[in-house]
Amino acid sequence: MAPARDSARLAPHRPLLVLAVAMAIGAALCVIALILDPRELGAQPLWAKPLKFCLSIAVYSVTLAWLIGLLPRRRRFASALGSIAVAGLVIEMVIIAGAAAFGVTSHFNVSTPFHTVLWGAMAVSIVVVWLVTLGLAALLVRVPLPDPALTLAVRAGLVIGLVGMALAFLMTGPTASQLSDYRGIVGAHAVGVDDGGAGLPFLGWSTTGGDLRIPHFIGMHALQGLPLLAIALDRLAPRVRVLRDAATRLRLVAIASVAWAAVVALTCWQALRGQSIVTPDALTLALGGVVAALLVASTAGTLVRRAGVAR
């Protein structure tokens, strides 16, 4: 068990960790701004988007530092990739916060040449961050960690995370309404309705149409969720007899990985059909029920079989 715990330490990648701290401070400042500044943009509080991005970047930075720390070699190259990611994320955050300060949208805004340049810079920076993540995935794919479950969790988390991040590109094309009535915005996260309508509190996910931010969010955070699951199973192993078997933990992570990917696919399909997350139709509910049932049955079967062997 101990080797798996040792492998889950943060690498001392100072730029990434400094960025994480800066984003935590930025998130606190955004909360203050939400209280003091009542303005709204797209039916959402003006400082909600900067707050969400501060939190997301902080989590991603810590995750990236941890992933770099898993590498037994090529650490210098990986650290360089991490520093490149920091630069891209800083550009992204500065533009988002600056746009909020001026009360204008940052994403999809091509209303003036200046805003077009800013949107282009954001697009390039996030592509760079995606490529950095892909580069780290290529380095980590051949690295066997001491715990097989953690090895699978990292690999699956990277693959699903990369897919989730890439889903953002589905938002960049013009919608039918934008083609017929251009108003300086090209691209949207909503499907079937215009951006800026009714949405879930804080998250802002559309409650009247599809929203591609949902599979984007779920997929992207497989980078954290699956490794955390593997680490939690490892921590519980000394106290839960059935989890002491490495093969059992590996199977549980494999089941969770398949289920996570299925949820990303299901929510993406739902969004592309213009269907809100809060009003799924019968087909979406049925498929979601199948995924949930298979997850529960597979997990229970794995635990019951192992418990029988342990006796």
Q: What is the pLDDT of residue 194?
A: 81
CB of 100 within 8 A of CB of 47?
yes
For 24-44, how does the pLDDT look when each residue is reduced to its tens digit (9 = 90+)? Answer: 999 999 999 999 988 888 778
What is the Cα–Cα distance from 172 to 187, expressed in whole angstroms? Answer: 4
What is the Cα–Cα distance from 166 to 174, expressed in whole angstroms? Answer: 17
Residues 6+ apart with CB under 8 A from 150: 4, 7, 8, 227, 230, 231, 234, 253
Q: Say yes or no: domain 1-146 is CATH 1.20.120.
A: yes
CB of 126 within 8 A of CB of 92?
yes
Show me where the domains of the chain are located.
Answer: 1-146, 149-311
**Model confidence at 170: pLDDT above 60:** yes
Q: What are phi and psi of 44, to 5 degrees?
A: -125, 150
- pTM here is 0.90
For 82-108, how does the pLDDT look when each residue is reduced to its tens digit (9 = 90+)? Answer: 999 999 999 999 999 999 999 888 888
